[in-house]
């Protein structure tokens, strides 16, 4: 069964409007028992040209209307997915030396569509919880070090990001 399942596994990878940011659709096996999703397989990702060494996995659990971010750093790749619920993800070019600084794109990730977004260094990401509860998951290519991160306010006028909410729930860091 496992060999048969592996042979059927397909990974769809597409480019986004942001250079270097990829949208990934892992294979979802469904039958009368439910679903089986392989969220990461080094060999399959390598086959698609994604050869990033991930060293840390993180999970964030939040309730509806919580907005986290915009955070990032100059050296970390992140592979973001939704394990449970639904959230609005924004990825923004935060490279102040780039002519594309401030360009952003949004995605809706959920436990139904199983989409993943690969975010390169110098990009920030933020997410707004759309469901009653969400489990946000990401793999990182470096170990977390808050002192090396940049933070932008979710409503920074230079970025002009559209959010589907007027008054999100924010942490002190993101307010």
Residue 159: predicted pLDDT: 97
Tokens of 57: 């996995």
Catalytic residue among 71, 123, 152, 154: 71
Q: With pLDDT > 90 as the criterion, what percentage of the chain qualifies?
A: 93
Residue 8: predicted pLDDT: 57
pTM for the structure as a whole: 0.93
168: number of CA atoms within 13 Å, CB side? 26
171 within a domain of the structure (yes/no): no
CATH of the domain at 100: 2.60.120.10
In this prediction, the residues of the chain whose per-residue pLDDT falls under 70 are: 1-9
Q: Report the domain count for the chain.
A: 1
163 within a domain of the structure (yes/no): no
Is residue 137 flagged as an active site residue?
no
165 within a domain of the structure (yes/no): no
Query: CB–CB of 18/90 below 8 Å?
Result: no
Catalytic residue among 45, 88, 123, 138: 138
Residue 111: which domain range?
2-151
Residue 144: predicted pLDDT: 95
């Amino acid at each position: 069964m496992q060999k048969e399942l592996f042979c059927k596994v397909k990974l769809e990878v597409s480019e986004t409007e942001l250079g270097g940011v990829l949208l990934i659709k892992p294979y979802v096996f469904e039958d009368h028992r439910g679903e089986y999703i392989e969220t990461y397989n080094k060999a399959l990702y390598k086959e698609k040209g994604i050869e990033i060494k991930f060293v840390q996995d993180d999970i964030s659990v939040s309730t509806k209307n919580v907005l986290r971010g915009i955070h990032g750093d100059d050296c970390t790749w992140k592979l973001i997915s939704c394990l449970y619920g639904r959230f609005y993800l924004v990825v923004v070019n935060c490279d102040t030396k780039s002519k594309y600084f401030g360009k952003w794109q949004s995605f809706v990730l959920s436990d139904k569509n199983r989409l993943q977004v690969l975010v390169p260094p110098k990009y920030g990401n933020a997410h707004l919880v759309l469901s009653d509860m969400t489990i946000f998951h990401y793999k990182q290519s470096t170990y977390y070090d808050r002192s090396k991160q940049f933070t932008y306010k979710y409503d920074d006028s230079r970025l002009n990001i559209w959010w589907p909410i007027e008054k999100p729930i924010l942490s002190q860091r993101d307010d």
